Structure 1
């Protein structure tokens, strides 16, 4: 799979393509169904399949006061789209200039002139062009004029509708299991391991503190089971999200106690996948009660992840 940023970087050797267009934040099961349609249509036509996404989220430009929490970084999004079988992913920088293009200009210069589309696959509620003036009906009309077929479909899989908004709502509630049903995989956050207050180590349960990008979707405060991915390693983790109320903390943090692991991860870029929610955030009366609860959390994490004692 190839990736490129901007229309000007489109490979010249790709004279024709079937293009799937969308923000694709989260790359949920509905997005996956749409991408599979594009791949199949490209195969039938003997051309390349291309997924087109936008960075930043268009709302960040047209309505910055209402930007939704980001489910995936653009790098993660590209990787997930590539895993669905497309030949290429084009990341379009969403700028003020792009937002002001008329629907006709967008089709003529981006879809046809830049991506050489002979087919365009979009969600049935797709909007494009200045002030979202273009819809699927207009896209189909332009397709007849410029020589490409439009395949519009609902964002569904197995007759169940999916949306990034629905994923964000479940994550905000802490229902990571329900979010995974929509995504088709565990929800994950990405970030860098940084130094924290070292309270976990003092209590006998050292944690990796994950600094996430501003605007990232983070599950509701509480304790979760999950996995930390670093390089080729997948490490089981008991995850805490919250403000450490037992210590009168104010800053919201994401921390992962890695089971049966000892090592230095500081400075590493990691992904933390959330499997299940164990409980909400609690302020304990004393440190002994907190330690007892952490021991229970770790035991429940081990059971939930199907682990036996081992060294990594």
Structure 2
């Protein structure tokens, strides 16, 4: 997938496109349905399939104090969009001045003049232009006036008829229900961040962890211990090393040690030798094993950590580690 950062980077020789517009936070199953329709429609028109998205998220510009935590950072959002088969994604830098454009100004300049749009594929809740004043009816009217078709994709819903949405995923993650979130996303929820030095308590107890920096991208699920995966950059992995490793992931403040800083840290099952410092990794959450609790001493904590590792292996359907640190 080609990635165009800014309207001025779109190739001048683009002859036609089928376009959809959205924030695509999380790229959940509803987004994927729209993006898949764009790909299919583009084949019909003999044109390029293009997704238009925004960075930062509009809510971060208009209401920064109450903007939701994003499910995915830009890197993962684009990677997930690419998985749908879209030919190109245009990332527009969102600002107050950009938001001041009327729906017609945005459509004429961005879609018609730059992307040479032949068809716009929209979901039922599409909004665009100043004050979000443009909707699907506005797009249809502009299509008639400016010479492009408009195709509506109906909302995709779950079995209980609730509409797939980023808000729903956030609710599930806030409850620690990563399995439920994965059902809406169509994949495990993920975070991406740099591995930084922590207190090294896990290493001292025999369970070294990769601590994500506090600016890691992706919504942090509820405090607790999770079974999941740690993914490394293939360029950083040596011969014979797996890119994707099973992990037990802890989220919380380490209450046994009176911690105050909330951390996300992942222990790769059966590995005490990995040096991941200053490496960017992805952590995927599969299932919550238990809530975060305070233990009465190191012995009880280590005993529970041993149980967590074994349970994580069972959940992930991987072999249990043969050797585990002894209870102190």
CA distance in 2 between counterparts of 1:256 and 1:36 reads: 34
Map Cα deviations across residues 52-89 of structure 1 (whole Å, 9 max, x no partner).
11100011111112211111111111111111011111
CA distance in 1 between counterparts of 2:127 and 2:190 reads: 28
User: In the TM superposition, what are the counterparts of 1:150-299 in structure 2 within 5 Å?
Assistant: 150-156=150-156, 160=161, 161-213=163-215, 216-232=218-234, 233-261=243-271, 262-299=273-310
User: In the TM superposition, what are the counterparts of 1:13-162 in structure 2 within 5 Å?
Assistant: 13-156=13-156, 160=161, 161-162=163-164
Runs of 5+ in structure 2 lacking a partner? Answer: 235-242, 323-328
Q: Which residue of 1 aligns with 2:313?
A: 302
Runs of 5+ in structure 1 lacking a partner? Answer: none
Q: Which residue of 1 aligns with 2:239?
A: none
Q: Which residue of 1 aligns with 2:6?
A: 6
Residues 22, 54 of structure 1: 8 Å contact kept: yes
Q: TM-score, normalised by structure 1?
A: 0.96
Distance 1:65 1:158, change over 3 A: closer
Residues 192, 216 of structure 2: 8 Å contact kept: no
Deviation at 1:33, TM superposition (A): 0.4
Deviation at 1:215, TM superposition (A): 7.0
CA distance in 2 between counterparts of 1:226 and 1:259 reads: 10
Aligned residues: 311
CA distance in 1 between counterparts of 2:221 and 2:39 reads: 33
What secondary structure is seen at the aligned counterpart in 2 of 1:113? helix
Distance 1:231 1:14, change over 3 A: same
Residues 195, 266 of structure 1: 8 Å contact kept: yes
Root-mean-square deviation (CA, aligned residues, Å) is 1.5
Distance 1:158 1:117, change over 3 A: farther
What secondary structure is seen at the aligned counterpart in 2 of 1:66? coil
Deviation at 1:31, TM superposition (A): 0.4
Deviation at 1:158, TM superposition (A): 6.9
CA distance in 1 between counterparts of 2:316 and 2:167 reads: 28
Q: TM-score, normalised by structure 2?
A: 0.92
Residues 139, 150 of structure 1: 8 Å contact kept: yes
CA distance in 1 between counterparts of 2:141 and 2:155 reads: 22
CA distance in 1 between counterparts of 2:158 and 2:185 reads: 13
